[in-house]
Amino acid sequence: MMRLVLTAILLVLLTACGTIGLLPTSQLVQKAIALQLEQTQQQLNQKLDLDFQGLEIKRLSISQEQPLTVENLPAFRVRGTYDLIIKLPERQLTQLQQQFEIYLQIQREGKSWRLLLPDKNSKDNQAVWRSYLIL
């Protein structure tokens, strides 16, 4: 009986240790999408002179987390859907089931994550990434 209890405790501890900080959480993914949308929003504000009051992400659903390596650090390609609410001065726009694909990279110390965006201006055949700290 004692062996069974110790085995169960050991399995719980090993499982908990194995998943801490290794996979991006829903909250992290939501922050990364918000960061990416804010950059797009700023560009639209400048070009179209719109007055965005804010963005809200709801019903985030992650369908795939694919591990990969970018510049010798672990990263993930994360796919899924979310609902987006765009707040304007006199109304709200709702866009349902928006698909996303983002790249997230955990840093060497394992305490912070970065959003990776491919640099479309790169003239090399090799992928070049821009990186943004997710707070």
Does any domain span residue 62?
A: yes
- Reported as a single tens digit per residue, the pLDDT across 67-120 is 999 988 999 999 999 999 988 888 898 999 999 999 999 988 888 999 999 887
Q: How many domains does the chain have?
A: 1
Quote the pLDDT of residue 9: 52
Mean of the per-residue pLDDT values of the chain: 82
Residue type, 44: L
Does any domain span residue 17?
A: no
Does any domain span residue 2?
A: no
The pTM (predicted TM-score) of the whole model is 0.74
Does any domain span residue 31?
A: yes
Q: Give residue 94's domain range.
A: 23-133
Does any domain span residue 8?
A: no
Between the CA of residue 88 and those of 54, 85, 94, 125, 126, what are the distances in Å?
Answer: 7, 10, 11, 40, 40
Does any domain span residue 98?
A: yes
